Amino acid sequence: MRSALFPLAALLFTPVTVFADDAADAKAVVEKAIKARGDKAEAKPGVTAWKDKGKLTAGGFELPYTADWAFRAPDKYRFVLVGMLGDTPLALTVVVNGEKAWEAMGDGVREITGPKLEYVRGEVYQLWVASLTPLVTDKGFTLAVAKGKDVGGKPTAAVKVTRDKHAAITLYFDKETGLLAKAETTVKDEFQKWKEVPEEVYYADYKESNGVKHFTKLKVVRDGNTLIESTLSDTKVVEKPDAKLFDKP
β-sheet bridge partners, residue 146: 158
| 76-117 tens-digit pLDDT | 999 999 999 888 899 999 999 999 999 999 889 999 999 999
Tens digit of each residue's pLDDT (9 = 90 or more) over 32-45: 999 999 987 556 67
Smallest CA-to-CA distance from 69 within 20, 111, 120 is with 120
This prediction's pTM: 0.90
Whether 42 contacts 61, CB under 8 Å: no
CA angle 126, 160, 50 (to 5 degrees): 25
Q: Given a cut of 50, is residue 195 above it in pLDDT?
A: yes
The mean pLDDT value of the chain amounts to 91
Q: What CA dihedral angle connects 204, 32, 170 and 69, to 10 degrees?
A: -50
**Residue 48 identity (one-letter amino acid):** T
Architecture in CATH for domain 14-238 = Clam (2.50)
* pLDDT confidence band for 135 (50 / 70 / 90): very high
Give CA angle at 36 (31, 42), nearest 5°: 70
